[in-house]
Amino acid sequence: MAGKRRYEDGCAFAQGLDVVGERWALLVVRELMFGPKRFSDLKSDLTGIATNVLTQRLTDLEAAGVISRRDLPPPTRGRVYALTDWGRELAPVIEVMGRWSARNPRLQFGWPLSVSAAMMSLGSMFDPSRAEGVEAALQFDFGGELFAVTVADRRLRVDPGRHPAPQVTVTGDQNELLPVLYAGMPVAEAEANGLAVEGDREVLRRFATLFPMPDPAPLPVTAT
């Protein structure tokens, strides 16, 4: 419940911060972006979140209309949390802010990304102007979570589930793939690191050129 600390500001943006501006809230949304999850999945994907905080966020986000909870039918007992249509419309917010954050001069590359974070980052970093004439159909399998990724008509699609006709299939840990996309690591090196690539490696290599990293912003002139 909570005493609901709010900005009393007529600005819709500020009222949006009242809904999803609290700590962890947008990360919960990010984790649900590709489909419903259970409490324990959220807890393990959001490393560091406390159970009571997660409970609180789920309660608040449901009350606001951003997510909904559903009880699973037997035999799979349990409940899952899913974005509402309105909640799913936060995807551009996450993508645009992710793109801004890519210029963070203090960006850290050491920490791992969750599967959802890695897949959302594709939409953030995709550059349509580089996709002229590119057609690609990829399937990713990150520990059993499948994604169908398609580039066509200068657009990128990232859908949960199996791809009907992939040209290349990538299986392994998402954190082994990301250096190929964002740091120019050769595909062969990622394979040596444990990533399994089946099919047309050239499609993956070409795909990896569509996600340019922007230059980092300047650090402040720390007069400390």
Tokens of residue 87, six digits: 């909640």
Enumerate the β-bridge partners of residue 141: 146, 171
Phi and psi at residue 9, to the nearest 5°: -125, 130
Which residue among 49, 64, 93, 146 contacts DNA (CB under 7 A)? Answer: 49
Which residue among 20, 29, 58, 156 contacts DNA (CB under 7 A)? Answer: 58
Q: Does 220 bind a copy of itself (CB under 8 A)?
A: yes
Q: Which is nearer to a copy of itself, 16 or 152 (CB)?
A: 16
**Residue type for position 32:** L
Enumerate the β-bridge partners of residue 155: 152
- 157-163: list long-range contacts, CB under 8 Å, 24+ apart: 158/34, 158/119, 158/122, 158/123, 160/34, 160/35, 163/137, 163/138, 163/139
Q: Does 48 bind a copy of itself (CB under 8 A)?
A: yes
Provide, rounded to whole angstroms, the least separation between the CB of residue 104 and DNA: 19
Find the distance separating the first CA and the last CA of the chain, reported in whole Å: 43
Q: Does 63 bind a copy of itself (CB under 8 A)?
A: yes
Q: What DSSP line would sit under 23-55, residue for residue?
A: TTHHHHHHHHTTS-EEHHHHHHHSTT--HHHHH
Provide, rounded to whole angstroms, the least separation between the CB of residue 84 and DNA: 17
Q: Could you tell which of DNA, a copy of itself, none binds residue 167, using a CB distance below 5 to 8 A set by kind? A: none
Which residue among 3, 73, 75, 110 contacts a copy of itself (CB under 8 A)? Answer: 110
Binding residues vs a copy of itself (CB under 8 A): 7-17, 19, 21, 23-24, 26-27, 30, 47-48, 62-65, 68, 84-86, 89-90, 92-94, 96-98, 100-114, 117-118, 120-121, 124, 175, 217-220, 222
